[in-house]
Amino acid sequence: MKFFVDTAEIADIRELAATGLLDGVTTNPSLIAKSGRKILEVIAEICEVVQGPVSAEVAATEYKQILAEANVLRKIAPNVTVKVPLTPDGLKACYALRQEGTMVNVTLCFSAAQAIFAAKAGASFISPFVGRLDDIGQNGMDLIADIVQIYSNYPDIKTEVLVASVRHPIHLIEAAKIGADVATIPANIIKMLYNHPLTDKGLAAFMKDWAATGQSIV
């Protein structure tokens, strides 16, 4: 399973990239707004730090304008993945961009039918938003299971299932059990994944016992 971080904060991305755990980055207009920075600068900076796919989302909703924005974004670096909304114009743009070899992440997916259409349009990634479905009383992880099962029925589908809107560690574990290809996770949740109270307790005990030996390894 690949791990992407869902942020436009370059400091967080640098820190995570240094761990070797990071396979890519996703951003969206809200995350860019939160960073307070210019999208072209932020994406360029992220692409210098991360070799894997870096999703940069268009802000346009109309086909020609989506393509115009995609054309600017994809020139930033070869690992830019153009992110388009799951709308008729977004999928049409996805198809056109894929014909030209540009990686495309289709975002704001909330149904299996939408995911089938994205695959037909040749999407590199489909982004179902699990947390936002949970928020309205639907089980977001059921959607991941449906999409993974449907895509596995058709080996010619190369679209990767990218679990988005991840809100807690259990989302990640469930997505991995289902066999999703990628999870994009906010930096604070990635940090939570290291934690277990028994690890802290065990380490404290080892350190105490070690100190009592008076030894030093180096």
Neighbouring C-alpha atoms within 13 Å toward the C-beta of 88: 0
Using the minimum distance from each CB to ligand E4P, give the nearer residue, 6 or 69.
6
Give CA–CA dist 58/162, Å, rounded: 18
Looking at residue 150, its amino acid is I
Catalytic residue among 38, 83, 92, 208: 83
Least gap, CB of 149 to ligand E4P (angstroms): 22
Minimum Å gap between C-beta 51 and ligand E4P is: 19
Whether 83 is catalytic is yes
Nearer to ligand E4P, 28 or 124 (CB): 28
Q: Given the complex with ligand E4P, which of 139 and 199 has the nearer CB atom? A: 139
The answer to whether 84 and 28 are in contact (CB under 8 A) is no
Nearer to ligand E4P, 122 or 128 (CB): 128
Least Å distance between CB 107 and ligand E4P? 5
Supply the minimum distance, in Å, between the C-beta of residue 50 and ligand E4P. 15
Per residue in 9-30, is it b (16+ CB within 10 Å) or e — as a string? bbebbeebbeeeebbbbbbbee
Kindly tell me the burial class for residue 119, based on how many C-beta atoms sit within 10 Å of its own C-beta (0-12, 13-18, 19 or more). buried
Q: How far apart are CA 109 and CA 77, in angstroms?
A: 26
Is 53 or 153 the residue whose CB approaches ligand E4P more closely?
53
* Residue 59 tokens, joined: 């802000």
Which is nearest to 158 in space by CA: 191, 205, 125?
Answer: 125
Strands (E), the chain: 2-6, 24-26, 54-57, 80-85, 104-109, 125-128, 160-163, 182-185
What are the angstrom distances between the C-alpha of 200 and each of 59, 164, 191, 211?
A: 44, 30, 14, 16
Enumerate binding residues for ligand E4P (CB under 6 A): 6, 26, 28, 107, 127, 129, 131-132, 164-165, 184
In angstroms, what is the minimal distance from the CB of 164 to ligand E4P?
3
Task: Please list the active-site residues.
Answer: 83
